[in-house]
Amino acid sequence: MSAGLKHQKIDYLFHSHHELPHVGGPLVKEILKEIKFSVPYIPKFKLNVGQYDIPYLCGYSKSDGMVYFDRDFEPDSYNEPFNEERFEEYNGEFSFPTVVTLMTHEEIEKLLEDVDHPQVHDYEQRHHIATHAESLMVDYFEYSWQRYTLWTTRSWHAAYAKWKGRAATLSLPPDLDLSPYDDEHDEILTKMNAAMRRRSK
């Protein structure tokens, strides 16, 4: 899920029963070092764009290192100037810096599933740390984090809105990791499971 999701669920975040590690603190740095995160970060997962409807804009597969972007999402729709020299270091591997920042979040979130630490045992904690890694990459490209999160939030809402009215026509990847959706309400999970069953037929 993109940074925009928890940006909108900030009240839930502060009233959570989960203990969240301090963003930018030594524990987060230690955990990110354990999965070999450093800036600049080059995502290694593959990217699938334009094929599926992802309720929260971005998602990842259970096991084969795939990141999914919602089919109607346009990563180049974020038009803030960025540090072009730093993006050139990626040697044309990615179409736009926002692809790197969003993929960084998804990849880190997934990699954290294999970290054995009491403060990385559930999705909310992984999302918290992945958002910090994403913010470091946003800073690296010299974007405004405030403007960027507003953009991801609007993009998330557009992807989510489709599931409110026309879920019966939507498609999910059959191997989508559903663990990030465990805290969601039953309605969206029911619709997602139905979409996955349609895909498997």
Q: Is 90 exposed, middle or buried (0-12, 13-18, 19+ CB in 10 A)?
A: middle
Q: How far apart are CA 43 and CA 158, in angstroms?
A: 25
Helix (H), strand (E), coil (C) string for 156-185: HHHHHHHHHHCHHHCCCCCCECCHHHCCCC
Write down the pTM of the prediction.
Answer: 0.87
Check residue 122 and give its pLDDT.
85
Could you tell me if 148 and 80 are in contact, meaning their C-beta atoms sit under 8 angstroms apart? yes
Q: How far apart are CA 74 and CA 54, in angstroms?
A: 13
Check residue 150 and give its pLDDT.
96
Check residue 155 and give its pLDDT.
96
Q: How far apart are CA 29 and CA 143, in angstroms?
A: 22
Could you tell me if 152 and 3 are in contact, meaning their C-beta atoms sit under 8 angstroms apart? yes
Backbone angles phi, psi at 126, to 5 degrees: -65, -40
| Regions of the chain short of the pLDDT cut 50 | 5-18
Check residue 21 and give its pLDDT.
57
CA atoms within 13 A on the CB side of 167: 16
Closest listed residue to residue 107, CA positions, set 173, 49, 159, 177: 177
Backbone angles phi, psi at 89, to 5 degrees: -65, -15
Q: How many CB atoms lie within 10 A of CB 22?
A: 11
